[in-house]
Amino acid sequence: MDSKKYFFLAWTEEQLNCDAAALLLYLSSFCSSLEEGPASLSAGTINKIAHLRKKLSLSVREFLPLVHTYSDILTDTDCRRALVFALGGNIHGIASLCEGRIPAWSN
Q: What is the pTM of this model?
A: 0.92
Whether 54 shows a pLDDT value over 70: the answer reads yes
Task: Give the whole-angstrom CA distance, residue 25 versus residue 45.
Answer: 10
CA distances in angstroms from 75 to 36, 37, 69, listed in the order given? 15, 16, 7
Give the model's pLDDT for residue 107. 67
What 8-state DSSP symbol labels residue 16? T
If pLDDT is split at 50, 70 and 90, which confidence band does 106 have? confident
Higher pLDDT pick, 25 / 91? 25
Give the model's pLDDT for residue 70. 85
Give the model's pLDDT for residue 20. 97
